[in-house]
Amino acid sequence: MPNSWSWVQFSDIHLGSPRSFRFQPKFNEQFDFAVEQIANSDQEPDFIIVSGDMCRDGDTHLFELEAAYDRLQQLPWPVYCLPGNHDIGGRFHEKNHARVNLDAIGRYRQVFGDDYYTFEHKGVRFICLDSMIFGTGFDAEKEQWQWIDEQAKDAHIPTMVFMHTLPFTNSPGSMPCTFEENFSAWYGNIPEEDQLRLAAFLKSINLLAISTGHIHVFQDRVVDGIRHVQCPSTAFLGNPEYLKEVNSVLGFLHWDMDDAHANVSLRQLEKESALEGYGPGGNIPVPERDYSAAWER
C-alpha cells in the first residue's frame, strides 16, 4: 500500500526507576522488547503515542516522571504522551487516597508538557485528552471542556482521539459507576455526565476512533456509532476477575491509515521478561496478584 502510513500506540508501559516503591524491572525490560519488536519489523511508524500510565509511581515522585520521559525520548521516533492515573493520580474522590491533584498535574506538565493538546499529521487530526481531570471540579477541568468544545469547529477533519480511561463501558451514561457501589466501573470510567458530553462531541466530528488504555486489554468495538479501541499494556495483564469478552494479552497496537480509514492491529509481545524483583532496588519478591496494586488504588 504505497500511500499508507502508520503509527504505534503504547499504553500502560509502567516504566519505573529503582527508586520507585513499586519498581518492577520486568516492566522496563518488556518495554525494551516491544521497542525492539518495532525496530525489527518492516513497518516503520511515523510516531508513537502512549495513552497514559507511562510510569509506575509518577503520581507520587517527580523523578519517576523524569525517568519515564527520558526513556521515551531515547526512542528513534517522535513520542506523544497523555496522563494516566499512575502519572497524575486516580479518579477524584475524597476516599481515594491516590486521587488526582494539582501538585501532581503540575509535576506532569513540568516534565511531559501539556496534558491535553492536538496535532495534525498527514491530514489526520490527533486529539489527546486528560481523562483524569474529569469530575475533579478543578479549573483545569473547565478549561479542558472549553478546549474540547473549540475542537468541534474543525468537525470535517478525520480525527483520532486518545485518553487513558474508558469513555463508557456499555454505552455512554448507561452504567452507574459510583465509588461505593460499583468500584470497578468507577475506577475504569469517566463520570457518567462526562461520558454523555464526550460522546456528543465524538459524534459531532469526523471520528476515526477513540482509543484508550487503563484496562490493559485489547478491544475494537463500535458502540452507539462510536468506534472505541482499547490498547493493551506491555507491562502486565488486566484483572481477569473484572474482564470479560476482551482480549487480555501483553502488547501494543499498530495503526495504519489507508486513504481515510484507520486500521488497527494487535501486536502481541513476542517475548516476556524473566526479570524478577519488586520495590526499591527491585530487591523483594513480586507480591502475588500484583495487578491489584493498580486496581485497588
The residue ranges that bind Fe ion (CB under 5 A) are: 12, 53, 84-85, 214
The residues, ordered by sequence, that sit 6+ positions from 64 with a Cβ below 8 Å of its Cβ are: 16, 17, 19, 20, 55, 56, 57, 58
CB of 115 vs Fe ion, minimal distance in Å:
14
Is there a contact between 128 and 83 (Cβ–Cβ < 8 Å)?
no
**Could you tell me the strand order of the sheet in which 251-258 lies?**
79-81, 48-50, 5-10, 251-258, 261-268
15 versus 208: smaller Cβ distance to Fe ion: 15
Rg of the chain on CA atoms, in Å:
18
214 versus 254: smaller Cβ distance to Fe ion: 214
CB of 118 vs Fe ion, minimal distance in Å:
22
**DSSP codes of every residue in 197-247:** HHHHHHHHS-EEEEEE-SS--BEEEEETTEEEEE---SS----TTT--SSB
User: Helices 192-204 & 139-151, crossing angle to 10 degrees?
Assistant: 20
CB of 247 vs Fe ion, minimal distance in Å:
16
184 versus 263: smaller Cβ distance to Fe ion: 184
58 versus 172: smaller Cβ distance to Fe ion: 58
128 versus 208: smaller Cβ distance to Fe ion: 128
84 versus 172: smaller Cβ distance to Fe ion: 84
98 versus 175: smaller Cβ distance to Fe ion: 98
CB of 53 vs Fe ion, minimal distance in Å:
4
Among 190, 206, 120, residue whose Cα is nearest residue 157: 206
Q: Cite the beta strand spans of 87-185 per DSSP E.
A: 117-121, 124-128, 159-162
CB of 86 vs Fe ion, minimal distance in Å:
6
| Measured distance CA(141)–CA(132) in Å, rounded | 9
46 versus 290: smaller Cβ distance to Fe ion: 290
CB of 120 vs Fe ion, minimal distance in Å:
27
CB of 67 vs Fe ion, minimal distance in Å:
17
Record the cell numbers describing residue 236, joined without a space.
502486565
Residues pairing with 211 in the sheet: 162, 229
CB of 57 vs Fe ion, minimal distance in Å:
12
| Measured distance CA(268)–CA(64) in Å, rounded | 26
In sequence order, which ranges of 47-191 are alpha helices (DSSP H)?
62-73, 85-88, 102-112, 139-151, 183-188
Residue 47: exposure state from Cβ atoms within 10 A (0-12, 13-18, ≥19): middle
Residue with cell 452507539: 224
